Amino acid sequence: MNAPATPSAGPRAGRVEVHGVQKSFGGVEVLHGVDLVVEPGTVTVVLGPSGSGKSTLLRSINHLEKVDRGFVALDGELVGYRRRPHRGGDRLHELKEKDLLRQRSRFGFVFQSFNLFPHLTALENVVEAPLSAQRRGRPEVEAEARVLLERVGLGDRAGAYPRQLSGGQQQRVAIARALALRPAVLLFDEPTSALDPELVGEVLGVIEDLARDGTTMVVVTHEIGFAREAADQVVFMDEGRVVEAGPPEQVLEAPRHDRTRAFLAKVL
Ligand code: ADP
Ligand code: MG
Protein backbone atom coordinates (compact mmCIF):
# COMPACT_ATOMS: atom_id res chain seq x y z
CA MET A 1 0.00 0.00 0.00
CA ASN A 2 1.17 3.51 -0.63
CA ALA A 3 0.86 4.80 2.91
CA PRO A 4 3.45 7.37 3.93
CA ALA A 5 6.39 5.67 5.56
CA THR A 6 6.97 6.15 9.26
CA PRO A 7 10.69 5.47 9.34
CA SER A 8 10.84 3.07 12.26
CA ALA A 9 13.59 1.06 10.64
CA GLY A 10 16.58 2.07 8.61
CA PRO A 11 16.82 3.59 5.18
CA ARG A 12 13.58 2.75 3.40
CA ALA A 13 13.16 3.19 -0.35
CA GLY A 14 13.48 -0.35 -1.76
CA ARG A 15 12.96 -0.28 -5.51
CA VAL A 16 13.74 -3.74 -6.83
CA GLU A 17 14.43 -4.36 -10.47
CA VAL A 18 14.73 -7.92 -11.73
CA HIS A 19 15.90 -8.04 -15.29
CA GLY A 20 16.13 -11.07 -17.57
CA VAL A 21 16.93 -13.48 -14.78
CA GLN A 22 17.73 -17.00 -15.89
CA LYS A 23 18.56 -19.84 -13.57
CA SER A 24 19.31 -23.50 -14.17
CA PHE A 25 19.82 -26.38 -11.80
CA GLY A 26 21.91 -29.23 -13.18
CA GLY A 27 21.38 -28.13 -16.76
CA VAL A 28 17.63 -27.70 -16.39
CA GLU A 29 16.52 -24.10 -16.75
CA VAL A 30 13.86 -23.22 -14.16
CA LEU A 31 13.72 -19.42 -14.65
CA HIS A 32 13.57 -18.41 -18.30
CA GLY A 33 14.32 -14.71 -18.18
CA VAL A 34 12.18 -13.14 -15.47
CA ASP A 35 11.51 -9.39 -15.37
CA LEU A 36 9.90 -7.76 -12.37
CA VAL A 37 9.80 -4.28 -10.87
CA VAL A 38 8.80 -3.65 -7.27
CA GLU A 39 8.18 -0.01 -6.43
CA PRO A 40 9.17 1.31 -2.99
CA GLY A 41 6.44 1.12 -0.37
CA THR A 42 4.40 -1.41 -2.32
CA VAL A 43 3.40 -5.03 -1.82
CA THR A 44 3.93 -7.55 -4.61
CA VAL A 45 2.22 -10.92 -4.23
CA VAL A 46 3.65 -13.77 -6.31
CA LEU A 47 1.24 -16.57 -7.16
CA GLY A 48 1.75 -19.72 -9.15
CA PRO A 49 1.61 -23.50 -9.04
CA SER A 50 4.12 -25.57 -7.14
CA GLY A 51 7.36 -25.84 -9.09
CA SER A 52 6.76 -22.70 -11.14
CA GLY A 53 9.92 -21.02 -9.80
CA LYS A 54 8.54 -18.70 -7.12
CA SER A 55 11.07 -19.66 -4.44
CA THR A 56 13.93 -19.63 -6.92
CA LEU A 57 12.92 -16.13 -8.01
CA LEU A 58 12.72 -14.91 -4.41
CA ARG A 59 16.06 -16.50 -3.58
CA SER A 60 17.59 -15.01 -6.72
CA ILE A 61 16.48 -11.53 -5.65
CA ASN A 62 18.85 -11.53 -2.70
CA HIS A 63 21.28 -13.96 -4.30
CA LEU A 64 20.77 -16.90 -2.06
CA GLU A 65 20.80 -18.39 -5.57
CA LYS A 66 23.34 -17.13 -8.07
CA VAL A 67 21.60 -16.23 -11.30
CA ASP A 68 23.06 -17.46 -14.58
CA ARG A 69 21.97 -14.44 -16.56
CA GLY A 70 20.30 -11.14 -15.92
CA PHE A 71 20.61 -9.01 -12.85
CA VAL A 72 18.87 -7.69 -9.79
CA ALA A 73 19.23 -4.10 -8.64
CA LEU A 74 18.05 -2.49 -5.42
CA ASP A 75 17.56 1.28 -5.56
CA GLY A 76 19.69 1.30 -8.70
CA GLU A 77 22.56 -0.58 -7.10
CA LEU A 78 23.50 -3.93 -8.50
CA VAL A 79 22.87 -6.73 -6.04
CA GLY A 80 24.66 -9.53 -7.79
CA TYR A 81 25.49 -9.89 -11.42
CA ARG A 82 25.07 -8.20 -14.72
CA ARG A 83 26.09 -9.37 -18.15
CA ARG A 84 28.60 -7.07 -19.66
CA PRO A 85 29.95 -7.07 -23.17
CA HIS A 86 33.27 -8.79 -23.42
CA ARG A 87 35.52 -9.98 -26.19
CA GLY A 88 34.20 -13.31 -27.32
CA GLY A 89 30.84 -13.01 -25.57
CA ASP A 90 29.09 -11.51 -22.59
CA ARG A 91 30.56 -11.96 -19.19
CA LEU A 92 28.91 -11.79 -15.81
CA HIS A 93 30.04 -8.92 -13.68
CA GLU A 94 30.34 -10.36 -10.20
CA LEU A 95 30.20 -8.27 -7.06
CA LYS A 96 32.88 -8.81 -4.47
CA GLU A 97 31.66 -11.02 -1.63
CA LYS A 98 31.79 -8.09 0.80
CA ASP A 99 29.63 -5.94 -1.48
CA LEU A 100 27.26 -8.82 -2.13
CA LEU A 101 26.77 -9.36 1.60
CA ARG A 102 26.19 -5.66 2.19
CA GLN A 103 23.59 -5.57 -0.55
CA ARG A 104 21.96 -8.76 0.67
CA SER A 105 21.65 -7.30 4.15
CA ARG A 106 19.23 -4.74 2.73
CA PHE A 107 16.76 -7.60 2.19
CA GLY A 108 14.94 -9.37 4.98
CA PHE A 109 13.86 -12.95 4.31
CA VAL A 110 11.05 -14.80 6.05
CA PHE A 111 10.91 -18.54 5.38
CA GLN A 112 8.00 -20.92 5.39
CA SER A 113 9.61 -22.89 8.20
CA PHE A 114 10.44 -19.92 10.51
CA ASN A 115 14.07 -21.08 11.00
CA LEU A 116 14.37 -19.69 14.53
CA PHE A 117 17.31 -20.76 16.70
CA PRO A 118 15.67 -23.28 19.07
CA HIS A 119 18.11 -22.63 21.92
CA LEU A 120 17.53 -18.85 21.95
CA THR A 121 14.58 -16.92 23.37
CA ALA A 122 12.37 -14.82 21.11
CA LEU A 123 14.31 -11.70 22.13
CA GLU A 124 17.71 -13.36 21.58
CA ASN A 125 16.58 -14.57 18.15
CA VAL A 126 15.72 -11.00 17.22
CA VAL A 127 18.92 -9.38 18.52
CA GLU A 128 21.34 -12.04 17.26
CA ALA A 129 21.99 -10.76 13.72
CA PRO A 130 22.08 -7.01 14.49
CA LEU A 131 24.65 -7.76 17.22
CA SER A 132 26.81 -10.23 15.29
CA ALA A 133 26.42 -9.15 11.66
CA GLN A 134 25.86 -5.42 12.06
CA ARG A 135 27.97 -5.05 15.21
CA ARG A 136 25.54 -2.63 16.77
CA GLY A 137 25.44 -2.02 20.52
CA ARG A 138 23.31 -4.29 22.70
CA PRO A 139 21.29 -1.65 24.58
CA GLU A 140 20.07 -0.03 21.38
CA VAL A 141 19.47 -3.33 19.59
CA GLU A 142 17.61 -4.83 22.53
CA ALA A 143 15.40 -1.78 22.94
CA GLU A 144 14.54 -1.91 19.26
CA ALA A 145 13.90 -5.67 19.44
CA ARG A 146 11.40 -5.14 22.24
CA VAL A 147 9.58 -2.55 20.14
CA LEU A 148 9.52 -4.98 17.21
CA LEU A 149 8.19 -7.84 19.35
CA GLU A 150 5.53 -5.46 20.62
CA ARG A 151 4.70 -4.59 17.04
CA VAL A 152 4.12 -8.22 16.07
CA GLY A 153 1.98 -8.68 19.19
CA LEU A 154 4.54 -10.59 21.25
CA GLY A 155 5.72 -7.96 23.69
CA ASP A 156 4.93 -10.31 26.58
CA ARG A 157 6.70 -13.37 25.07
CA ALA A 158 10.23 -11.96 24.72
CA GLY A 159 11.62 -14.58 27.13
CA ALA A 160 9.90 -17.58 25.54
CA TYR A 161 11.76 -20.23 23.57
CA PRO A 162 10.49 -21.25 20.12
CA ARG A 163 9.16 -24.60 21.44
CA GLN A 164 6.98 -22.66 23.89
CA LEU A 165 5.40 -20.66 21.08
CA SER A 166 2.74 -21.60 18.52
CA GLY A 167 3.68 -21.70 14.84
CA GLY A 168 1.98 -18.35 14.30
CA GLN A 169 3.90 -16.82 17.18
CA GLN A 170 7.17 -18.29 15.90
CA GLN A 171 6.57 -16.82 12.46
CA ARG A 172 5.83 -13.43 14.04
CA VAL A 173 9.17 -13.66 15.89
CA ALA A 174 10.79 -14.46 12.53
CA ILE A 175 9.22 -11.32 11.06
CA ALA A 176 10.52 -9.22 13.98
CA ARG A 177 13.93 -10.80 13.46
CA ALA A 178 13.93 -9.86 9.78
CA LEU A 179 12.86 -6.30 10.62
CA ALA A 180 15.63 -5.94 13.21
CA LEU A 181 18.17 -5.79 10.38
CA ARG A 182 16.35 -2.68 9.09
CA PRO A 183 15.88 -4.04 5.59
CA ALA A 184 14.74 -1.92 2.66
CA VAL A 185 12.72 -4.86 1.33
CA LEU A 186 11.12 -7.84 3.03
CA LEU A 187 10.83 -11.12 1.10
CA PHE A 188 8.36 -13.77 2.32
CA ASP A 189 8.35 -17.31 0.95
CA GLU A 190 4.97 -18.86 1.76
CA PRO A 191 5.01 -17.46 5.30
CA THR A 192 1.78 -19.16 6.32
CA SER A 193 2.01 -22.49 4.49
CA ALA A 194 3.37 -24.36 7.50
CA LEU A 195 0.69 -23.04 9.86
CA ASP A 196 -2.53 -24.54 11.09
CA PRO A 197 -5.41 -22.70 9.41
CA GLU A 198 -6.47 -20.90 12.57
CA LEU A 199 -3.00 -19.32 12.90
CA VAL A 200 -2.74 -17.98 9.36
CA GLY A 201 -4.72 -14.81 10.07
CA GLU A 202 -2.47 -13.51 12.84
CA VAL A 203 0.60 -13.71 10.59
CA LEU A 204 -1.14 -12.15 7.59
CA GLY A 205 -2.42 -9.44 9.93
CA VAL A 206 1.14 -8.51 10.87
CA ILE A 207 2.16 -8.43 7.20
CA GLU A 208 -0.84 -6.23 6.36
CA ASP A 209 0.14 -3.93 9.21
CA LEU A 210 3.63 -3.59 7.73
CA ALA A 211 2.06 -2.90 4.33
CA ARG A 212 0.01 -0.04 5.78
CA ASP A 213 3.25 1.36 7.16
CA GLY A 214 4.80 1.47 3.68
CA THR A 215 7.20 -1.47 3.99
CA THR A 216 8.31 -2.75 0.58
CA MET A 217 7.48 -6.45 0.40
CA VAL A 218 7.43 -9.37 -1.99
CA VAL A 219 5.19 -12.15 -0.70
CA VAL A 220 4.92 -15.60 -2.24
CA THR A 221 1.63 -17.01 -1.00
CA HIS A 222 -1.45 -18.96 -1.99
CA GLU A 223 -3.66 -16.70 0.13
CA ILE A 224 -5.74 -15.03 -2.57
CA GLY A 225 -7.73 -13.05 0.00
CA PHE A 226 -4.50 -11.51 1.23
CA ALA A 227 -3.47 -10.71 -2.35
CA ARG A 228 -6.79 -9.00 -2.94
CA GLU A 229 -6.58 -6.96 0.28
CA ALA A 230 -2.91 -6.07 0.53
CA ALA A 231 -1.25 -6.32 -2.87
CA ASP A 232 -0.45 -3.39 -5.09
CA GLN A 233 0.81 -5.81 -7.71
CA VAL A 234 0.01 -9.46 -8.30
CA VAL A 235 2.45 -11.54 -10.32
CA PHE A 236 1.38 -14.90 -11.70
CA MET A 237 4.21 -17.30 -12.52
CA ASP A 238 4.04 -20.58 -14.39
CA GLU A 239 6.83 -22.83 -15.62
CA GLY A 240 9.61 -20.38 -14.84
CA ARG A 241 8.02 -17.33 -16.44
CA VAL A 242 5.96 -14.36 -15.34
CA VAL A 243 2.73 -15.01 -17.22
CA GLU A 244 1.11 -11.77 -16.15
CA ALA A 245 1.48 -8.99 -13.61
CA GLY A 246 -0.77 -6.13 -12.65
CA PRO A 247 -3.04 -4.75 -9.96
CA PRO A 248 -5.03 -7.40 -8.08
CA GLU A 249 -8.35 -6.35 -9.57
CA GLN A 250 -6.93 -7.05 -13.00
CA VAL A 251 -4.94 -10.25 -12.44
CA LEU A 252 -7.42 -11.81 -10.00
CA GLU A 253 -10.73 -10.60 -11.40
CA ALA A 254 -9.97 -10.27 -15.12
CA PRO A 255 -6.91 -12.39 -15.92
CA ARG A 256 -5.65 -12.15 -19.47
CA HIS A 257 -4.20 -15.62 -19.74
CA ASP A 258 -5.82 -19.03 -19.67
CA ARG A 259 -3.11 -20.37 -17.37
CA THR A 260 -3.88 -17.67 -14.80
CA ARG A 261 -7.59 -18.43 -15.04
CA ALA A 262 -6.99 -22.16 -14.65
CA PHE A 263 -4.80 -21.60 -11.59
CA LEU A 264 -7.27 -19.22 -9.94
CA ALA A 265 -10.12 -21.64 -10.57
CA LYS A 266 -8.20 -24.23 -8.54
CA VAL A 267 -7.25 -22.05 -5.56
CA LEU A 268 -10.37 -19.88 -5.22
P1 ADP B 1 8.03 -23.03 -6.38
O2 ADP B 1 8.60 -22.25 -5.24
O3 ADP B 1 7.17 -22.21 -7.29
O4 ADP B 1 7.30 -24.25 -5.94
P5 ADP B 1 10.79 -23.62 -6.96
O6 ADP B 1 11.43 -22.32 -7.26
O7 ADP B 1 11.02 -24.19 -5.61
O8 ADP B 1 9.23 -23.52 -7.30
O9 ADP B 1 11.26 -24.70 -8.02
C10 ADP B 1 11.25 -24.47 -9.43
C11 ADP B 1 11.89 -25.68 -10.11
O12 ADP B 1 13.28 -25.69 -9.78
C13 ADP B 1 11.33 -27.00 -9.66
O14 ADP B 1 11.29 -27.85 -10.76
C15 ADP B 1 12.33 -27.47 -8.63
O16 ADP B 1 12.37 -28.87 -8.58
C17 ADP B 1 13.63 -26.90 -9.17
N18 ADP B 1 14.60 -26.59 -8.10
C19 ADP B 1 14.47 -25.64 -7.15
N20 ADP B 1 15.55 -25.59 -6.36
C21 ADP B 1 16.39 -26.55 -6.81
C22 ADP B 1 17.70 -27.02 -6.43
N23 ADP B 1 18.34 -26.45 -5.38
N24 ADP B 1 18.24 -28.01 -7.14
C25 ADP B 1 17.61 -28.57 -8.19
N26 ADP B 1 16.39 -28.18 -8.61
C27 ADP B 1 15.79 -27.20 -7.94
MG1 MG C 1 8.41 -22.48 -3.20
Question: Is 170 inside a domain boundary?
Answer: yes
Question: Is 133 inside a domain boundary?
Answer: yes
CA distance 108 to 151: 17
Point out the ligand nearest to the CA of residue 56.
1
CA distance 233 to 156: 35
Could you report the predicted ipTM of this complex, rounded to two decimals?
Answer: 0.98
How many domains is the chain partitioned into structurally? 1
Of 24, 29, 30, the one to substitute when testing ligand 1's pocket (max ligand atoms within 8 A of C-beta) is 30
Nearest Cα to Cα of residue 147 among 108, 184, 186, 176 = 176
Question: Is 142 inside a domain boundary?
Answer: yes
CB 226 within 8 A of CB 268: no
Range of the structural domain that residue 159 is part of: 116-182
Angle at 247 between CA 188 and CA 208, to 5 degrees: 40
Q: Is 55 in the pocket of ligand 1 (CB under 6 A)?
A: yes
Nearest CA, atom 11, ligand 1 = 51
Nearest Cα to Cα of residue 179 among 114, 115, 107, 117 = 107
> What is the 189 CA–ligand 2 centroid distance (Å)?
7
Q: Is 50 in the pocket of ligand 1 (CB under 6 A)?
A: yes
Question: Is 241 inside a domain boundary?
Answer: no
Question: Is 250 inside a domain boundary?
Answer: no
Question: Is 52 inside a domain boundary?
Answer: no
Question: Is 120 inside a domain boundary?
Answer: yes
What is the full per-residue pLDDT of the chain (268 aa) written as tens digits? 444 333 344 456 899 999 999 999 999 999 999 999 999 999 999 999 999 999 999 999 988 898 888 888 899 888 766 666 666 655 666 677 777 888 888 999 999 999 999 999 999 999 999 999 888 999 999 999 999 999 999 999 999 999 999 999 999 999 999 999 999 999 999 999 999 999 999 999 999 999 999 999 999 999 999 999 999 999 999 999 999 999 999 999 999 999 999 999 998 7
Q: What is the DSSP string of 76-90?
A: TEE-SEEEE--TTS-
Q: Is the whole-model pTM more than 0.95? A: no
Question: Is 240 inside a domain boundary?
Answer: no
